Amino acid sequence: MTAGRRLIVVVVLVGLLLGTFVHYGANGPRRGYPSPGSIDAEYDAHVGETVFLLAEVAEIDDGSATLRVRGTGSPYELRAVGLAPPITPGALIQVYGELGADRTVAVSNAVVVNPSRTAELTKYGLSALGAALALALFFWYWRVDLASLGFEVRRDG
Amino acid sequence: MADLLAHVLVAYAVLTVVGWRLDWLDQQWVVVGMCGAAIPDLGKVNLVVHESTIRSALGVPFTYAPLATIGGVVLVAGIVTQLFAHDRRRVFGLLVAGGGLSLLGDALRAYADGHSEFFLYPVLYWRPPTPSLYVSSDLWVTAVAIGVAVVVFAVDRYVA
């Protein structure tokens, strides 16, 4: 395949990929729970519904916690009851439960995604290390060949 | 899986072991699969350019979510494949295999409602049930991946 044809294929595939970004955003699959933005904007309409939220634990009191819910809009706070320890302030958690009156969610299940900001940063650091490892090994075995406008195996690779 | 390092090391271990049965699958090809394992993590570009910024700029719905689906893996693999001068079918297959392994690892993560992500988009709009084995910040997963990769490296170098 000539370089020109490869370029055309790249343009077509990039177009398709961008199309999936828009399609997923507009008509893609949904989890079937009310969105965080919709909960915040029309809270009373969602009371009694099952929700699935991503939230940061802001405070913990006796048997309940203040959650800072993350979504597409600005974060907002909800009260969570029934959270099982160990969950500490600053943790990022998934919450599954039922929305009650007075901006409260009765938690059926929660998963701690990041127990702390340090854990989150460690995860990103390890991911950066993984990317660096993959790229370093790739260019150990492969090189850019200007004549063929593509990657070629290094002869000494 | 837990993080990109674990994804890359799992791809290394699996493809190296498969290479013990396939003569052509040597390290120069294994590293292509390792790069494929990074495709589902390309959505982390969201940390640099947030999708809400693009939504506002373009005025259309926009999400990077397809990158962590089989559809996104196939399309990105197809794009990257065009950057190779030769053996593009082999490159494409290894990129998709690496990306698929990462999606498989992600499908084992814990979700509060017991179902993982829509990994099969756009083929199926379905969230498979997850065994909830770990969360993305669990360091033990990375430790296990490092251990397995070291063992496979040693066997590959001195035994196989």
Which of B115, B45, B51 lies closest to A94, judged by CA?
B115
Name the most confidently modeled range: A38-42, A116-120, B142-146: B142-146
Q: Which two tokens stand for residue A3?
A: 């370089």
Contact A80, A108 (CB under 8 A): no
Distance from B138 to chain A by nearest Cα, in Å? 9
The Cα B135–Cα B142 span in angstroms is 11
The Cα A43–Cα A5 span in angstroms is 53
DSSP H/E element including A113: strand A104-114
Which of B106, B84, B88 lies closest to B39, judged by CA?
B106
- Stretch B128-137: mean pLDDT: 94
For chain B, percent of residues with pLDDT exceeding 90: 91
- B128 and chain A: CB distance < 8 Å anywhere? no
Is the pTM higher than 0.90? yes
Residue A149, pLDDT score: 87
Nearest by CB to A111, which of B72, B85, B110?
B110
The string of pLDDT tens digits covering residues B96-124 is: 999 999 999 999 999 999 999 999 999 99
- B37 and chain A: CB distance < 8 Å anywhere? yes
Q: What does each C-alpha distance from A11 to A15, B80, B82 come to in angstroms?
A: 6, 12, 11
Is residue A57 pLDDT above 80, yes or no?
yes
For residue A157, what pLDDT band results from cuts at 50, 70 and 90?
A: very low
